[in-house]
A and B are shown apart, each in its own frame.
Chain A
Amino acid sequence: MTTLDPVEVFRQEASDLFEALEGALLDLGSRPDDRELIDTAFRALHTIKGSGAMFGFDKVAAFTHEFETAFDQVRKGEISVSKDLISVALSAKDYIRALIEAPEGTDSIIGDAILDELRRFVAPAAAVVPAEAPSAAAAAAVAPTAAAARSRGWQLHIEFDRDVLRNGSNPLDYLDDLRKLGTAFATARTEDVPLLDELEPELCFLKWDVTLNSDCDRAAIDDVFMFVQDEMVLSCEPLTDAGAEVETAIEAPAPVIAAPPLAPSAPEAAAPLRPEPEKPAAAPAKSKGDEQRRFDDKGLATVRVQAQRLDELMDRVGELVIAQARLSQLAATTDDISIKAIAEEIERLAAGLRDTTMGARMVPIGSLFGRFRRLVHDLSRDLGKPVDFVTSGEDTELDKTMIERLADPLVHLIRNAIDHGIEDTASRAAAGKTEIGRIEIAAIHSGAQVLVTVRDNGAGLNAARIRAKAEEQGLIQPGAVLSDDDVHQLLFQPGFSTAQTISTLSGRGVGMDVVKRTIDAMRGSIDISTQPGRGTTVTLRLPLTLAIIEGLLIRVGEGRYIIPLAAVEECAELSAEEERVRGRDFLNMRGDLVPFLRLRDLFDVAGQPDRHQKIIIASSGETRVGLIADQIIGSHQSVIKSLSKLHSDVTMFSGATILGDGSAALILDVAQLLAIGANVGDGKHLNEAA
């Protein structure tokens, strides 16, 4: 387990690169002229090619090379970025990904087809290049001084970071590349090379001065060093006239003279033999600063950890928190000050450890949003509905297991928003809306919850149509009295669909019930609000983490139970008057009728209830239920333990936790209790009707 398979490492690295590449390509769609993005995409491609070849993914390297060649023209500005080009580039990216992940399952025909298409975009570029040249000449005519400076050449000082070799870069290759720009004369500077016994063979101590005779511009030189630009100091000065003359004078023999220093083995082999006692004092300080910067840049400060190890850590911490609670309880009963002090110390440490561990499991939701951009891009193309996709709150952090489980529900919601929500271009124009639809996905913290919203500015839900369909499918009685919210919740019934025609994307009625089930399983809830003609907003309310909840500890008879605090709206004492009216199952909470459940009856507790019964109002969305308990003990940090498979028939409890004294307490399943409460409500309606 400790030995990492290098191929696996490459796959992981590649998957990060794909993300960067896809992000850049999609961003290019909206900002086609952004050099930065083009460079990012190009760099990602280049690294995939390089690493792919290194790890024996030859097909990947070959294909990526072609892709890169085509994309190079974009980088040089010879062809402009178009929507179609991005689409092809995305499918090329998918193909490379397939090559890496399932090499057997890919067909080279697909690859060839993609390349052909890419080349179609690239081919016209050849015609464009000459067209550009005259314009450059025109520019030269306008600004002769600039053109002159360009033609003379450059004096370069190249200083690589010491550990540039460790990252697999060979400085000599770059010098060779420079030679392709024009005749170059390079001198190695050896003043930093230390004494032989101080010499670290893996470090690069050499610097180079290069006189480059070329009419290239500065950007061309930067391009040569594109992949090492973070690891080097490059100074570029245009050659002065005098210098140029000197250079011109030696232009003919230059390649010959240049050859020895640029010969691959020469400088490195020679370097150790030329000790240089003095090191410039400034050098170490600067390299330190560079190192710091590199740390930040390349994310070396982060470590990949297997998710399973994080889970184990969380389990251990959960047990520690429980053991610590027992210690605190024990310490409270003793008079020994030193034990009390240790107990307090451990309490503080355990709490800190718990928060840190939870923090380590938190992942910004932006990583998930990134995936949807592609989905929206593809859907909007396939459906012919132009859509702007806007995300916000990418930094909002959620437990990593929740992020994973959120992916599918959000895909369904986004699909629905584009397929059903956003109207086609003609209808939008007729309704006086902008032609381009808008899908917003946002995440914000709200107390102990995270709200994830998917909003579209489409047609909104048609309550009448949903009703009609539900009646037709027998989900509701014709003429039943339903609030708008009830009607919207019908969407989450299995098999429910209002789409008139079944498209490839939606309309089969699978999906929304899956969304509902997944969110329920995460102890979250879904709210829908809609404005006809203006759009629909679906809000998912989710707890921050699945592992630990803030709970309210209550006592019913002898047993202690936990109610998730997020579901608790308020607590009150049951008035003597309400207590007396045994037959009634409703409370008057400031004018609202709230059904209530006597937990003693529900749990079948023998004996007499306490004199002052407490009522806890639990809610989810709009529905509320009152729970009557003997005592409210207080808040409790509950490490959630799932119930055994043998207890899968138990419905009233969603899990268990361990209390300070080491005994187990059950966690009430508020959704179930609400359902039971709703039945009480229905019973009431029937009674009234009768």
Chain B
Amino acid sequence: MDQIVETRPRAEAESEQMQVVMLGIGDEVFALNTMLVREIIDPVPATRVAGARPYLPCVVNVRGNVIPLADLRSRFGMAKTAATADTRIVVLEIEIDRDPVLVGVVADKVHEVTQISRADAQPTPRVGMRWNPEFISFITKWRDEFVIVPNMERILS
């Protein structure tokens, strides 16, 4: 069964609280704003697109729409792994040039929906980062673990 995540904007502004979905990709945990998430589905067969950029290698059929499937691993320099029983596709709606665009992101595991606070945000370290700092909105703490709040628009465009 698909797990549908409700996108419920909890009056965020008031306390910098943000409702997020925790995704495990490789060894890292990413927190995605639930406002972006349309649905989370089981893996479906993907179609490779020849000539596409490496981080957007495939398209998939989601409810009659053909949407690109993004590979965050390649964007964050992680090795490819095979799908497991926990693998999910998280369908996001992001804005590219002010148009809403649907895109799927492969997650190795979807942990839970939770609240994080911007107040806990850690400054993104300028050095010692393997990743392009542009891809990261901020880093915060969740259960004593550092989680990355990615900037999806930057990552995908």
Chain A positions within 8 Å of B, measured between CB atoms, are 315, 318-319, 322, 559, 602-604, 641, 643-647, 649-653, 656-658, 661-666
Contact = CB atoms under 8 A, between A and B. Distances in A.
A319 B101 CA distance: 19
Contact of A643 (B50, B59, B61, B63): B59
Nearest to A651: B51
B44 A646 contact: no
Interface in B86-106: 96-97, 99, 101-103
B47 to A, nearest CB: 4
Contact of A604 (B44, B50, B56, B67): B50
B48 A656 contact: no
A604 B59 CA distance: 17
B61 A664 contact: yes
Contacts of A318: 64
Contact of B66 (A315, A559, A658): A658
A658 B56 contact: no
B65 to A, nearest CB: 7
B66 A319 contact: no
Interface string B27-56: 000000000000000001111111111001
B20 interface: no
A652 B60 CA distance: 18
A570 to B, nearest CB: 24
Contacts of A319: 63-64
Contact-size category for B: 20 to 34
A656 B47 contact: yes
B49 A663 contact: no
B66 A650 contact: no
A388 to B, nearest CB: 47
A665 B44 CA distance: 13
A646 B103 contact: yes
B99 A663 contact: no
A27 to B, nearest CB: 45
Contacts of A658: 61, 64, 66
B10 to A, nearest CB: 29
Given A318-B64, A641-B66, A664 B47 contact: yes
Interface in B64-123: 64-68, 70, 96-97, 99, 101-103
Contacts of A650: 49, 51-52
Contacts of B136: none
Most chain B Cβ neighbours within 10 Å, of A322, A644, A646, A649: A646
19 contacts: A315-B64, A559-B47, A641-B64, A643-B59, A643-B66, A644-B101, A644-B103, A645-B96, A646-B96, A646-B157, A647-B49, A647-B52, A647-B56, A650-B52, A653-B50, A661-B45, A663-B47, A663-B60, A666-B59
Given A649-B51, A656-B47, A663-B60, 8 more contacts: A644-B101, A646-B68, A646-B70, A646-B101, A649-B53, A656-B66, A663-B61, A666-B59
Contacts of B50: 602-604, 652-653
Nearest to A663: B45
A662 B59 contact: no
A656 B51 CA distance: 15
A641 B65 contact: yes
Given A602-B50, A603-B50, A649-B52, A322 B45 contact: no
Nearest to B45: A663
A602 B51 CA distance: 9
A322 B56 CA distance: 25
Contacts of B102: 644
B64 A666 contact: no
Interface of B: 44-53, 56, 59-61, 63-68, 70, 96-97, 99, 101-103, 156-157
Contacts of A666: 47, 49, 59
Nearest to B100: A645
B51 A664 contact: no
B62 to A, nearest CB: 9
Contacts of B52: 647, 649-650
Contact of A647 (B59, B60, B157): B59
Nearest to A322: B64
Contacts of B64: 315, 318-319, 322, 641, 658
Contacts of A665: 47
Contacts of B70: 646
A649 B57 CA distance: 12
Contacts of A603: 48, 50
A664 B53 contact: no
Contacts of A653: 49-50
A559 B97 CA distance: 31
Contacts of B60: 663-664
Contact of B67 (A322, A644, A652, A657): A644
Given A318-B64, A646-B101, A649-B53, A664 B48 contact: no
A650 B57 CA distance: 11
Nearest to A665: B47
Contacts of A643: 59, 66, 68
Nearest to B59: A664
A324 to B, nearest CB: 12
Q: Which of the listed residues A602, A645, A662 has the most CB atoms from chain B within 10 Å of its own CB?
A: A645
A559 B48 contact: yes
Contacts of A661: 45
B139 to A, nearest CB: 25
B81 to A, nearest CB: 19
Contacts of B63: 319
A454 to B, nearest CB: 35
Closest 6 CB pairs of A and B: A603-B50, A319-B64, A656-B66, A641-B66, A664-B47, A663-B45
B76 to A, nearest CB: 18
A604 B64 CA distance: 27
Nearest to B48: A559
Nearest to B97: A645
Given A604-B50, A645-B101, A664 B66 contact: yes
Given A603-B50, A647-B49, A656-B66, A662 B56 contact: no
Contacts of B156: 646
Nearest to A649: B53
A650 B156 CA distance: 15
Contacts of A602: 50
A649 B96 CA distance: 14
Given A641-B66, A643-B66, A644-B102, A662 B61 contact: yes
Contacts of A315: 64
Contacts of A559: 47-48
B103 to A, nearest CB: 6
A460 to B, nearest CB: 42
Contacts of B65: 641
A239 B63 CA distance: 77
B118 to A, nearest CB: 28
Contacts of A645: 96-97, 99, 101
Contacts of B48: 559, 603
Contacts of B59: 643-644, 647, 656, 664, 666
Contacts of B46: 663
Nearest to B101: A645
A598 B4 CA distance: 43
A63 B60 CA distance: 59
B61 A646 contact: no
A121 B157 CA distance: 65
A300 B96 CA distance: 45
B123 to A, nearest CB: 30
A665 B59 CA distance: 9
Highest count of chain A CB atoms <10 Å: which of B47, B56, B67: B47
A652 B68 contact: no
Nearest to A644: B68
